[in-house]
Amino acid sequence: MILWIGFAGVLGAVLRFSLGKWVSGLLGTAFPWGTWIINISGSLLLGLLYGWHQSQMISDGIWLMWGTGFCGAYTTFSTFGYETLGLMGRQRYARAALYVGSSVVVGVLAAWAGVWLTA
């Protein structure tokens, strides 16, 4: 099981890096859109996985592989903190507050939506 979790983690990390670079190139870097989109979509996916696991539509192994492995590597709290500090260091306080607030609120709503979609 540990190897499967690690394999999914590699997939999540590679997708996070690739998607983050692509989104930043597309939307620019004035706001950390890449990390924001990754964390919100990861929250939605984790909510879906949680709902499926709770309703026994997926096994414990699938839950661990994709929830812990993939989502754990795909989403990134440390980059979120780093980018928030970067915005604050450039005196973009309103943008930093928007980033923090929207990440938390929309992230929780996305996780809830994922669970709701599986009901």
Give the residue ranges of the annotated binding site for Na(+).
Answer: 72, 75
Contacts of 61 (CB under 8 A, 6+ apart): 1, 4
Mutual angle of helices 33-54 and 93-118, in 10-degree steps: 20
Question: Is 41 within 8 Å of 110 (Cβ atoms)?
Answer: yes
> CA–CA separation, 68 vs 82, rounded Å?
22
Residue 17 DSSP code: H
In the annotated binding site, the residues are: 72, 75
